[in-house]
Structure 1
Amino acid sequence: MTESDGAFGGRVRPSGVERVVDVRLSTMHGEFLAIGYLDRESADEQMVLVYGDVEREGALTRVHSECLTGDVFGSKHCECGDQLAAALDAIVREGHGILVYLRGHEGRGIGLLAKLRAMKLQAEGMDTVEANLALGFPADARDYKVAADILHDLDVPSVRLLSNNPLKREALLRHGIKVTEQVPLLIAPREENLSYLWTKRERLDHYLPHLDGAVE
């Protein structure tokens, strides 16, 4: 058996992703099958965590954008790290599901150093959208084709998408992924990220109804 063989068979599809390796990964949330992919178009290395049988309708799925500051260092500036943990817990409770971890999405697609520069502008009074635009970037530069390619490779017939972002759902639909439901992933706001969350709600149309009782 080669590295690319395994539970899912190590296929290369015309979509542009190559399944390279799969291995069991025990985490504090549960035991997952970790699958490593190569994006043949960008050369980015991508990873997905699979729990249980996902070749079924409505697999609970989180497409999570890489956030070094939130996912690794626990930054209070965003809710990314909390969302990552909550999504993994929800998938385990569900009994089956997928977490696609998208590298190259740092700062809504502008990269780590640019994100840190944008955070500095936010500390000086700009909101997250204004900061990206001031640096010459779009408000959201992310592309979800590789996520769709991975889900196609996993033979997932449809997903229940764990996300507050309507653009993420629209992007997956555009790339041929059937989304049967968009499931909110709401994290209690902190004083440090409340303004950031309001901007995501008011300027990026994220579904964040739990902010109604919070004062910006």
Structure 2
Amino acid sequence: MKASIEDKVQTRIPTKHGEFILHYYSNSLDDKEHVAFVKGEVAGKDEVPVRIHSECFTGDVLGSRRCDCGAQLDMALGLIEQAGCGVLIYLRQEGRGIGLLKKLQAYNLQDQGLDTVDANIKLGHLADERQYDIAALILSALQVRSINLITNNPQKIDELTKLGVKVHDRIAIETRVHDDNVDYLKTKAERMRHMLNMPDSE
């Protein structure tokens, strides 16, 4: 069955980064609540700033310093605000696709000395199990012609390109490195090919 989505509702959300329209999508692939946060007019436009952000409850909501997710979410919205238009797609694929329970178990393995890749593998998962089919469908539904993708992850660019998304350029999104996330970020750079400059820890 070919994947499909339906834009069920749109509503205005004022934020510290200005006003956005939140689109709620149902889909034929899973029962999760994927959404798009849209600023300005993006239909028919090229080089639209786009962030495809995978859910991170601990970072996005609780402000955990173990990762850079919450900081990236905030920074991406700021970049979209500066550009005057753009899209943040929030995909419900916690823990690089392994779910919250397994992610928390992976955290405990990391505290025992494993890195983020080996912790996932020890739990029987891949280092990264995320998929971007729904993101591609959302961009198509929003009639975005091409994007400037806000990411450090080359795999995300490759996957979207395979799905037919025209990625014109990449916008880097690097947050502060500190003692709580330095090992996590080093693993991203060294083992997952993320395009990161690793400054000295604070």
If the TM-score is normalised by the length of the shorter chain, which range does it land in?
over 0.9
In 2: Cα distance, 1:39 partner to 1:75 partner: 30
Q: Secondary structure at the match of 1:83?
A: helix
- Cα distance between partner residues in 2 of 1:17 and 1:204: 30
Distance 2:153 2:52 in 1: 11
Q: Kindly indicate whether residue 159 of structure 2 is the aligned counterpart of residue 197 of structure 1.
A: no
Aligned length in residues: 199
Deviation digits for residues 74-125 of structure 1 (CA, Å, limit 9, x no counterpart): 000000000000000110010010000001x111000000000000000010
Determine whether 1:130 maps to 2:104. Answer: no
Letter in 2 for 1:214: D
Q: How large is the RMSD of aligned CA atoms in angstroms? A: 1.0
Describe the SS at the equivalent of 1:136: coil
Deviation per residue, 1:119-172 (Å, 9 max, x gap): 000001000000000000000000011100100110000000000000111111
Q: Which 4+ residue blocks in structure 1 deviate beyond 2 angstroms?
A: none
Kept after mapping to 1: 8 A contact 2:3/2:29: no
Give matches, 1:99-138, under 5 Å: 99-103=88-92, 105-138=93-126
Question: Structure 1 residue aligned with 2:57, among 58, 68, 77?
Answer: 68
- 5+ residue gaps, structure 2, are none
* Mapped contact 2:50–2:88 kept (Cα < 8 A): yes
Q: Does residue 1:91 correspond to 2:77, yes or no?
A: no
Aligned runs of 1:1-216 on 2, under 5 Å? 15-55=3-43, 56-103=45-92, 105-209=93-197, 211=198, 213-214=199-200
* TM-score of the two chains, using structure 1 as the length reference: 0.90
In the alignment, the residues of structure 1 paired with residue 109 and residue 31 of structure 2 have an alpha-carbon distance, to the nearest angstrom, of: 31
Cα distance in 1, alignment partners of residues 11 and 3 from structure 2: 23
Cα displacement (A) at 1:28: 1.8
